[in-house]
Amino acid sequence: MRVLGIDPGCETTGWGVVEGNARQYRLLEFGAIRTKAGQKFPARLAHISREIEEVISRHNPDACALEDGFLATNLKVTLKLGQVRGVAMLAAERAALDIHEYSPRLVKQSVVGYGNAEKHQVQEMVRVLLSLKSLPEPQDAADALAVALCHFHHAGLAQRILATESRMKLSSSVIRRPASG
C-alpha cells in the first residue's frame, strides 16, 4: 500500500509518501508546500491544491491520511485550517484515494507511544521508523510522515479485525450434521 500523509497548514502544508504495510515501510518522498505571506487566501488554497494534485500524480498513492483539525485559540485560524483540509480532501477525492483522518493525539500515540509527545519527539521517531540518516525537515513534513505511519498502524489493525470477523462468520455458518447410522 502507498499512503500520502498530509499535515495541513495555511502557510506550510507538509506531505509525505510512504509505501509498505503495518510492519515494514519505506519513504518515497516528502516535502512542504509553502504559500506566500502576502497572497490572498483563495490563491493560497489554489496553490496548495495544485501541489497536492502534482504529488498524487507523481506517486499514485492508494490512500490519503490527513491530520484531523484541532481547535486553535483563534477561531479565524481554525476556520482557515479547515479550509486547507477541505482543499486537501478534495484533491484526494478527485484522485479516488481512500481518505482517512487522524487526530494529532492519535498520530503521536501511534508513532511515539505518547499522545502528548513534543514535535521533536515525533520528528525523531519518524527518522527512526523510516531509517533516515537525518531528521525530516521541515517539521510539517515530519508531521505528514507521522500521519502516514499512523495510517499504516490503524489500517493494518482494521484489516486484521475484518479478517477475524469474516472467519467467525464463516465458521458459524458451517452446519454440522450428525452422522447417520
Q: Is 137 a residue of the active site?
A: no
Spot the catalytic one: 54, 67, 98, 137.
67
Alpha helices in 60-118 (DSSP H): 75-94, 104-111
Residue tagged 506531505 (cell numbers): 15
Q: Which of 38, 49, 15 is nearest to 143 (CA)?
A: 15
Q: Is 67 a residue of the active site?
A: yes
Alpha helices in the chain (DSSP H): 41-59, 75-94, 104-111, 119-129, 139-173
Q: Is 7 a residue of the active site?
A: yes
Spot the catalytic one: 7, 29, 118, 165.
7
Cβ-based neighbour number of residue 11 at 10 Å: 14
Cis peptide before 138 (omega within 30 of 0): yes
Spot the catalytic one: 51, 54, 137, 140.
140
Q: Which of 18, 29, 31, 60 is nearest to 149 (CA)?
A: 18
Active-site residues: which are they?
7, 67, 140
